[in-house]
A and B are shown apart, each in its own frame.
Chain A
């Protein structure tokens, strides 16, 4: 890429860099890093997710200065943050809504990867590390929701930890171990706080691996074809740094709108009732971003062979994320981007719709009818259909489509459609691209 052998002008900086090459590494990975020239705005969400993680870590550190991880004081200390601590309300609302924002951003990031086939060779491991990141995020978000020690915190913790009791033979012992007692209590809260502080930093480490894997294979792009030369790429800086910054600006407007005008929109009012181990709320629902998985868990009300319903539900729920690990091999199509896969494109949107349906199912009581006029069709039935489709999408549609689908022809290169009109390379293109432009077949 252009400017790869740039020199460092500052003498002190150069002296340091000759011994500890942080500056040149950064230049290599964040300035000159060749990026496909055709990325659309859906590619903003990766760096956006990193940005949200930084916000979460910073706000979390400041919140933990005022929070007390003790069953007698946790709820009180959160109210103390809201009422007494200077700007405590702001920091807490940023953190609280940041959790939801993080999932919105990451879900879009994942669906983008699925639409454009970003998980396919050579990016399988990049994708799998991404699934690990999702799992870590879920664990962190779950434990974070327990910390305020409201009714939903307590009963959410009870229900989720009880999932492990479905494990045959040692299930109950594992749950006791998780709790550090015979119910969710002080030891549970304290270990959750400890781990909830640790996991974001583990996330940072795994994200470094994610980015390393990305920079090895380079970014996928809307066409899903590889970069074939300098004419297909532009430098990350300033083209994508500025685009990412613009995306951050737009994102912050949405985020701020929630923080200032509807801070509790995505939360549950019951979590403002202090935890009471003797009274379960009428409807326990997890945070919205867990609802699809919660729906899958509750949809399985039947056993299979020797597997009881409870265990099968837990297997299905974890399987719904586990199946993502296998996606690079379940998808047999050699074409990455849905742009050239007319049939897959339809299935993609059906799958997205299916996830939305599962979200609604997760938020409603299984025994209630979906439509008020049709008593026999309950949410659990809709959940079962949606769960079946969820797995069918991965286990049936993906493998078969590779063989049955007639894909559209791929363009010869990324720059070909752009430069075909006989025009010169765009004014802002990297110097290298301008130089090599005449070599193109256009």
Chain B
């Protein structure tokens, strides 16, 4: 319907050029306008400000497991006894779906620090309290879909694909750790 009166080739290619440039410009403009809205759903400044925490570990007894909250998730702190460490070291790498030595998972063998979220679908494994099930290998057991973790937090049996994640942390002093 909107046929130009002088429909020469030259004229039409000019029109195409204008349509394409205008369309391209509009697309870039739309993308620029959409970005602030998408980004507004990303973590806000106050959430990012809480990305690291300091934990005093002086009160934790040998053999005791403690849970702290970091970025909205539980972090398991386990002060392991020599027997428990020995048990973790005995596990053969070949048996592990996600092979990793116990030494790779700790800064100091006595302190095992992991994100307490099952790598299957995000449930919190049982085992922090003596009264809870610890799974077949004496570590942690996720009740949602039956994943068993060993005393190093490595997956040995069940649907979880990965070992429990080790968060970035440092020993600020002998009795204080900084997570995140």
Contact = CB atoms under 8 A, between A and B. Distances in A.
Contact of A431 (B1, B44, B45): B1
A91 B4 contact: no
A87 B39 contact: yes
Contact of B39 (A2, A86, A235, A428): A86
Contacts of A80: 44, 46
A178 interface: no
Given A91-B37, A431-B3, A86 B46 contact: no
Interface of B: 1-5, 36-37, 39-42, 44-47
A86 B44 contact: yes
Contacts of B40: 62, 65-66, 85-88, 91
29 contacts: A2-B1, A58-B37, A62-B37, A65-B41, A66-B44, A80-B44, A80-B46, A83-B45, A84-B44, A84-B45, A84-B46, A85-B40, A85-B44, A85-B45, A86-B36, A86-B42, A86-B44, A87-B36, A87-B40, A88-B40, A88-B44, A91-B37, A235-B1, A427-B4, A427-B5, A428-B2, A430-B1, A431-B1, A431-B3
Contacts of B5: 427
Interface in A207-241: 235, 238
Contacts of A91: 36-37, 40
Q: Looking at B1, B4, B5, B36, which has the most chain A CB atoms within 10 Å of its CB? A: B1
Interface in A68-84: 80, 83-84
5 pairs of A and B residues whose beta carbons are closest in the complex: A87-B36, A84-B44, A84-B45, A84-B46, A86-B39
Contacts of B44: 66, 80, 84-86, 88
A90 interface: yes
Interface in A101-152: none
Contacts of A83: 45
A148 B36 CA distance: 21
Contacts of A85: 40, 44-45
A85 B3 CA distance: 49
A3 interface: yes
Nearest to A94: B36
Nearest to A245: B26
B21 to A, nearest CB: 15
A73 B4 CA distance: 60
A64 to B, nearest CB: 11
Given A80-B46, A86-B39, A430-B1, 11 more contacts: A62-B40, A66-B40, A66-B44, A84-B44, A84-B45, A85-B40, A87-B40, A90-B36, A91-B36, A91-B40, A431-B3
Nearest to A86: B39
Contacts of B3: 431
B142 to A, nearest CB: 31
Contacts of A65: 40-41
Contacts of A235: 1
A238 B2 contact: yes
A107 B9 CA distance: 46
A38 B42 CA distance: 48
Nearest to A85: B44
A66 B37 CA distance: 12
A80 B49 CA distance: 13
B3 to A, nearest CB: 7
Contacts of B41: 62, 65
Contacts of B37: 58, 62, 87, 91
Contacts of B47: 84
Contacts of B45: 83-86
A320 B4 CA distance: 50
Nearest to A61: B37
A182 B180 CA distance: 49
Nearest to B6: A427
Interface in A321-376: none
A91 B46 CA distance: 18
Contacts of A2: 1
A430 B39 CA distance: 44
A361 B104 CA distance: 76
Nearest to B43: A86
Contacts of B36: 86-87, 90-91
Contact of B1 (A3, A62, A66, A86): A3
Nearest to A6: B1
Nearest to B49: A84
Contacts of A238: 2
A301 B46 CA distance: 51
A88 to B, nearest CB: 6
A65 B43 CA distance: 12
A65 B3 CA distance: 48
A83 to B, nearest CB: 7
A59 to B, nearest CB: 8
B126 to A, nearest CB: 34
A235 B2 CA distance: 9
Interface string A232-276: 000100100000000000000000000000000000000000000
Contacts of A86: 36, 39-40, 42, 44-45
A88 B39 CA distance: 9
B178 to A, nearest CB: 23
A146 B2 CA distance: 49
B50 to A, nearest CB: 11
Nearest to A235: B1
Q: Looking at B37, B39, B42, which has the most chain A CB atoms within 10 Å of its CB? A: B37
Contacts of B39: 86-87
Contacts of A58: 37
A428 B3 CA distance: 8
